[in-house]
Copies of this chain bind each other. A is one copy, B any other.
Amino acid sequence: MNLTEKKIDGKQVYNGVIVNVRMDQVELPNGKAAPREIVDHPGAVAVLPLDEDNNVIMVTQYRYAFETEMLEIPAGKLNPGEDPWVCALRELKEETGYIPGEMLPLGASYSSPGFCTEVIYLYLARYLEKGEATPDEDEFLKIEKVPLDDLVDRILQDEIRDSKTVAAVLKAKAMLERY
């Protein structure tokens, strides 16, 4: 069975700062038409910086969407046309000051593929050298080291819910054990 939905019409319904929204009409496999409301996002990167003692450099930020501070791995949005690997190095340095000697891909994460185009490219950064953090003027964050195994425990206890952090921590843990 071919599940493809073909675009038959569409219009831009919101042009924002971070996201745009379009409302497309598609033809379903049964020939009927249906609306598809899609949030377009530029994409992002997230980096799990792991030191030689198996601590992760974590960032705490206020997340206005949830009205709470959240513990996450360092991350940031892609600039237009920017290479994800370059962006990951830049964001890691800006937010934490660390420069990695090695940065390995941990795959990508589709945050919410039912309605949003956001892709987050994940990396594992190791052999860290400390430089100076240079956060944006209006970026407020706290940096702390947390043992990787503590992060795994806190994810399993539902204390960490950020999808990119969950994906990167559990994938890194499995890969480091496996290879």
User: How long is the Cα–Cα vector from A9 to B110 in the complex, in angstroms?
Assistant: 31
Q: Which chain B residues lie closer than 8 Å to A39 at the CB level?
A: 19, 39, 65, 116
Q: A109-B166, A110-B162, A111-B112 are in contact. Are A28 and B118 (CB under 8 A)?
A: no
Q: Which chain B residues lie closer than 8 Å to A14 at the CB level?
A: 13-14, 16, 21
Proximity string of chain A (109-121) to chain B, C-beta cutoff 8 Å, 1 when within and 0 when not: 1111111111100
Q: Are A163 and B109 in contact (CB under 8 A)?
A: yes
Q: Which chain B residues lie closer than 8 Å to A28 at the CB level?
A: 138, 140
Q: Are A112 and B163 in contact (CB under 8 A)?
A: yes
Count of this chain's copies in the oligomeric assembly = 2
Q: Are B64 and A36 in contact (CB under 8 A)?
A: yes
Q: Are B66 and A37 in contact (CB under 8 A)?
A: no
Contact with A118, one of B60, B112, B141, B157 (Cβ below 8 angstroms): B112
* A35, A64, A166: residue with the most chain B Cβ atoms closer than 10 Å: A64
Q: Are A114 and B65 in contact (CB under 8 A)?
A: yes
Q: Are B62 and A115 in contact (CB under 8 A)?
A: no
Q: A86 an interface residue at 8 Å Cβ cutoff?
A: no
Q: Are A163 and B111 in contact (CB under 8 A)?
A: yes
Q: List residues of A whose CB falls within 8 A of some B CB.
A: 1, 3-5, 13-14, 16-19, 21, 23-24, 26, 28-30, 32, 34-39, 41, 44, 60-66, 69-70, 72, 75, 105, 107-119, 138, 140-142, 152, 155-158, 161-164, 166-167, 170-171, 174-175, 178
Q: Can you name 17 A-B pairs with beta carbons within 8 Å?
A: A3-B61, A5-B64, A17-B35, A21-B21, A29-B140, A44-B114, A65-B114, A66-B113, A72-B113, A107-B156, A112-B118, A113-B162, A156-B171, A163-B163, A166-B170, A166-B171, A170-B171
